[in-house]
Chain A
Amino acid sequence: MIDILQSVIPTALFYSAPLIFTALGGVFSERSGVVNIGLEGLMVMGAFVGIVFNLTFSDVFGAWTPWVSIIVAMVVSAIFSIIHAVASVTFHASQVVSGVAINMLALGVGVYLTKQWYGKGQTDMVDQPFYTTNFPFLSDIPVLGPIFFQGIYITSYLAIFVAFIAWFVLYRTPFGLRLRAVGEHPMAADTNGINVSRMRYIAVILSGALGGLGGSVFALTIASNFSHSTIVGQGFMALAAVIFGKWHPLGAMGAALFFGFAQSLSVVGSSIPILQGVPQIFLLIAPYVLTILALAGFIGRADAPRANGVPYIKGNR
């Protein structure tokens, strides 16, 4: 049993980390009333920047390269997400359409520049990816140590930590209250003197930063290079986590952990006796089926923020 947990849990944490980061980005954006189908594209951008930066500057930063890379990826994706904010907040474009365009644009730009800079469709493998570590002291705890603290990526725990920060920001600060107010009833918020557009811009940019973080963490832990098929569906899975987690940061984190768990089962499941009879396909589609069931109200009711997806036009009722 312990052997099984020891193989499943680190893998689950490993797959969840990018999903948690990106899902938190989705939570910020959607709580402010901006639907973000573009999470996939923001992850693509993050993965691309993370890999390219890592390849280019690995001599300069040495062992710190992956950390600097994910920060740079965060910044670039945040800037990139402004396009989504401009289109959907300022120009009142359909947020879903703009998100779809973000996805296409990110992939187009990423692969275009990869081909121009590297002369081929995919980059080389990075020299300085994240490596697993054994946590000092904690890994010596009997039973729990080997399961949770040996051969783990620090980014996994960072993701969980960021989820609690996001919860604190959204539910325990005036900023969070305003952000949620803008997503529930923008007109009331506006009447109270909250700048709706500014809040939504900030929220979308935050989602860009977190999406970029998620994408770059994915690239530097799981993929190790960038091509058109580095990020396929992780962004949408993060979106699923947002909804399955009922637009709550900790809920989204839980959902992302669960999806990571499902993915890890589909990877290491063949070595687990109970799961050998279960076809892999069920584990693959589990996150998506569960999301639909959650939305349909079979697993508690999932209600979106009320003004989610509705452009706010001053003076319109």
Chain B
Amino acid sequence: MSSNKLFTLLVPVISVVMGLLAGAIIMLVSGFNPIEGYTALWNGAFGDSYTVGETIRRSTPYILTGLSIAFAFRTGLFNIGAEGQVIVGWLAAVWVGVAIDAPMYIHLPLAVIAAGIAGGLWAFIPGILKAKLGVHEVIVTIMMNYIALFTTNEIIRKVLTSGQTTTESISPSASLASEWMQSMTFYSRVHYGIFIALFAAVIMWFIIQRTTVGYELKSVGFNQHASNYAGMNVSKNIVLSMVIAGAFSGLAGAMEGLGTYGNISVMASFSNLGFDGIAVALLGANTALGVVFAAFLFGALKEGAGEMPTGAGIPTELVDIIIALIIFFVASSYMIRWVILRFKKEGK
């Protein structure tokens, strides 16, 4: 058993190292200095208190989308729809933030909850289709992403504004912005959302590890037939898992809507928060703690990438390549396991 635990820890670490090495090779091949490149990356992510604040800000939604995908994964579901759930959550949060007038202790929780509910509802559709009709959730969630994108754009243009591409800012009583955190980090955009995200991670851990609900969800993920035979309601668990996963993603939208931007704009394409969340969940081995670490890693990589063009002349997309490669390496963990086993045998 302990060797299994070692594997689950080694695979992500090796994958990240290999991804960074591959990034260095790409920099070398395209005529850049990898040491300069990675120094710029480091400075961009942790160089001063401002960048640290921005790194935390960027990691916040990643934690939530990562949790969303990891949670669904535990029930054997692949929630590619995090992207769409983020968008509807973002829209709902901003909508409540703009349209309602209330004191902060009502307004802010209301906006956050609205985002969670919107995300949950958006995930309910693929959940119920999977549970009742056996429709594969991957395709439905992908389609739901596009429906969310186009519909949200339409609502922004037609309902929330009259033909504008950006809504007005949310009222301060719905904002997650935090003066003391900002002043600590030289006025970065870091906001209270990070505590919501970390709290969500604790909730996921608690549900999965400490409740009967979580036990059933995991059980359905391992073997639907056995769970059914043991008297669990498989359909209910599938829908529940999708809805909770969707709520996490919806909250990620709230982080952007109430924290980082304070409004929502018409989007030409996806924010990629949901797709990057897949990488986060995968690297975090679908555990709450793992997701938090992975989210900070990817948050730092993405934030640091912003410094690479000015610091070393390297296009920011290098980081996207590195992240894609890390996903490949984790997904192909079969290969890593095989190599490790080989070395072990030879060691003996």
**What residue of chain A has the Cβ atom nearest to residue B325's Cβ?**
A105
Question: With A and B bound together, what is the CA distance between A229 and B317 in angstroms?
Answer: 14
The minimal Cβ–Cβ distance linking B316 to chain A, given in whole angstroms, is 8
Q: Are A233 and B327 in contact (CB under 8 A)?
A: no
The minimal Cβ–Cβ distance linking B335 to chain A, given in whole angstroms, is 5
**What residue of chain A has the Cβ atom nearest to residue B321's Cβ?**
A108
Q: Are B335 and A295 in contact (CB under 8 A)?
A: no
Q: Are B135 and A100 in contact (CB under 8 A)?
A: no
Q: Are A295 and B136 in contact (CB under 8 A)?
A: yes
- The answer, yes or no, to whether B232 is at the interface (CB within 8 Å) is no
The minimal Cβ–Cβ distance linking B105 to chain A, given in whole angstroms, is 37
Q: Are A292 and B143 in contact (CB under 8 A)?
A: yes
Q: Which one, B136, B146, B278, contacts A304 given CB within 8 A?
A: B136
- The answer, yes or no, to whether B315 is at the interface (CB within 8 Å) is yes
The minimal Cβ–Cβ distance linking A286 to chain B, given in whole angstroms, is 10
- The answer, yes or no, to whether A37 is at the interface (CB within 8 Å) is yes
Question: With A and B bound together, what is the CA distance between A102 and B333 in angstroms?
Answer: 17
Q: Are B317 and A108 in contact (CB under 8 A)?
A: yes
Inter-chain contacts of A304 with B (CB < 8 A): 136
Question: With A and B bound together, what is the CA distance between A243 and B139 in angstroms?
Answer: 9
Question: With A and B bound together, what is the CA distance between A116 and B150 in angstroms?
Answer: 33
Question: Interface digits, B315-339 against A, CB 8 Å rule (1 contact, 0 not)?
Answer: 1011111011101100111110000
Inter-chain contacts of A281 with B (CB < 8 A): 150-151, 154
Q: Which one, A83, A87, A284, A296, contacts B129 given CB within 8 A?
A: A296
The minimal Cβ–Cβ distance linking B157 to chain A, given in whole angstroms, is 9
Interface residues of A in 62-115 (CB under 8 A from B): 83, 86-87, 91-94, 96-98, 100-105, 107-109, 111-112, 115
- The answer, yes or no, to whether B62 is at the interface (CB within 8 Å) is no
Q: Are B150 and A108 in contact (CB under 8 A)?
A: no
Inter-chain contacts of B318 with A (CB < 8 A): 108, 112
Question: With A and B bound together, what is the CA distance between A232 and B275 in angstroms?
Answer: 14
Inter-chain contacts of A98 with B (CB < 8 A): 327-328, 331-332
The minimal Cβ–Cβ distance linking B22 to chain A, given in whole angstroms, is 11
- The answer, yes or no, to whether B248 is at the interface (CB within 8 Å) is no
The minimal Cβ–Cβ distance linking A101 to chain B, given in whole angstroms, is 4
- The answer, yes or no, to whether A130 is at the interface (CB within 8 Å) is no
- The answer, yes or no, to whether B170 is at the interface (CB within 8 Å) is no
Q: Are A93 and B331 in contact (CB under 8 A)?
A: yes
Question: Size range of the interface on A?
Answer: 35 or more
- The answer, yes or no, to whether A256 is at the interface (CB within 8 Å) is no
Question: With A and B bound together, what is the CA distance between A101 and B324 in angstroms?
Answer: 5
Inter-chain contacts of A93 with B (CB < 8 A): 328, 331-334
Inter-chain contacts of B332 with A (CB < 8 A): 86-87, 91, 93, 98
Inter-chain contacts of B80 with A (CB < 8 A): 37, 96, 100
- The answer, yes or no, to whether A279 is at the interface (CB within 8 Å) is yes
Question: Interface digits, B116-139 against A, CB 8 Å rule (1 contact, 0 not)?
Answer: 000000000100010001011011
The minimal Cβ–Cβ distance linking B40 to chain A, given in whole angstroms, is 15
- The answer, yes or no, to whether B3 is at the interface (CB within 8 Å) is no
Question: Interface digits, A235-271 against B, CB 8 Å rule (1 contact, 0 not)?
Answer: 0110110010000000000000000000000000000
Q: Which one, B129, B143, B282, contacts A288 given CB within 8 A?
A: B143
Q: Are A291 and B320 in contact (CB under 8 A)?
A: no
Question: With A and B bound together, what is the CA distance between A112 and B322 in angstroms?
Answer: 12
Question: Interface digits, B134-159 against A, CB 8 Å rule (1 contact, 0 not)?
Answer: 01101110111111001100100000
Inter-chain contacts of A300 with B (CB < 8 A): none
**What residue of chain A has the Cβ atom nearest to residue B322's Cβ?**
A108
Q: Are B146 and A100 in contact (CB under 8 A)?
A: no
The minimal Cβ–Cβ distance linking A90 to chain B, given in whole angstroms, is 8
Q: Are B146 and A233 in contact (CB under 8 A)?
A: yes
Inter-chain contacts of A291 with B (CB < 8 A): 139, 143
Question: With A and B bound together, what is the CA distance between A285 and B150 in angstroms?
Answer: 7
**What residue of chain B has the Cβ atom nearest to residue A92's Cβ?**
B334
Question: With A and B bound together, what is the CA distance between A239 and B328 in angstroms?
Answer: 21
Q: Are A279 and B275 in contact (CB under 8 A)?
A: no
**What residue of chain B has the Cβ atom nearest to residue A240's Cβ?**
B143
Question: Interface digits, B73-96 against A, CB 8 Å rule (1 contact, 0 not)?
Answer: 000001010000000000000000
Inter-chain contacts of A229 with B (CB < 8 A): 268-269
The minimal Cβ–Cβ distance linking B224 to chain A, given in whole angstroms, is 15
The minimal Cβ–Cβ distance linking B167 to chain A, given in whole angstroms, is 17
Q: A116-B30, A243-B139, A296-B133 are in contact. List 4 more A-B contacts (CB 8 A).
A: A91-B334, A92-B334, A105-B321, A295-B140
**Interface pairs A-B: 6 shortest CB-CB:** A108-B320, A105-B324, A93-B331, A115-B315, A104-B324, A91-B332
13 CB < 8 A contacts A-B: A86-B332, A91-B331, A100-B275, A100-B278, A101-B279, A104-B324, A108-B317, A108-B321, A239-B139, A288-B147, A292-B125, A295-B136, A295-B139
